[in-house]
Amino acid sequence: MSTVLWSNLLIDGKVESDNSDLYALYKHADKLEQLTQKLGLPSFQSACDTTDLQFNMDDDAELPAGMTSTNEVMAQQGQWLTLADGIRMLEGLLANIRKEKVRFGLLSNQHDEVVEELEEVLAFAHKGEGRAQKFNFCVVM
């Protein structure tokens, strides 16, 4: 089992996930964060929520009363960007990574995988326009 990111939208207080494993984005999160800082974009790391990971790592963790999933906790207490900021971050990253042909990885270049995953997430985020209020990545194990 590996750790990945899933992209999520918050729609009327409920989490809608694409349930797609985004391994390259998780693996290169630090570099993506550096790029957002350099480009003056909303922070990549500030969009990464660890609610699910925290509950899965702590065997004694119990969901708050009345909640049946970590998505419910994340909806209320998680890290989120506004949808507009999430889309701006994704579009800015994609444009820069394509233009500058940014390399991801030391031994092999995973540029194409990062671009493909960013395109997938951006398409998912755009589907939420007019319905979703917020966007995030959930760290899933």
The SS3 of residue 45 is: helix
pLDDT of 57 reads: 85
pLDDT of 69 reads: 92
CA-based nearest residue to 30, from 46, 44, 40, 42: 44
pLDDT of 50 reads: 96
CA-based nearest residue to 115, from 94, 137, 86, 88: 94
pLDDT of 1 reads: 59
CA-based nearest residue to 125, from 11, 14, 4: 11
Q: From CA 28, how far away is CA 40, in angstroms rounded?
A: 18
pLDDT of 32 reads: 98
84 Rama class: left (phi>0) / alpha (psi -120 to 50) / beta = alpha
- Distance from the first to the final alpha carbon of the chain: 7
Q: From CA 137, how far away is CA 59, in angstroms rounded?
A: 23
pLDDT of 23 reads: 98
pLDDT of 61 reads: 78
pLDDT of 38 reads: 98
Q: Please give the model's pTM, rounded to 2 decimal places.
A: 0.94
Count other C-beta atoms under 10 Å from residue 19's C-beta. Answer: 10
- Mean per-residue pLDDT pooled into runs of 10, the chain (141 residues): 92 97 98 98 98 83 88 96 98 98 96 98 98 97 87
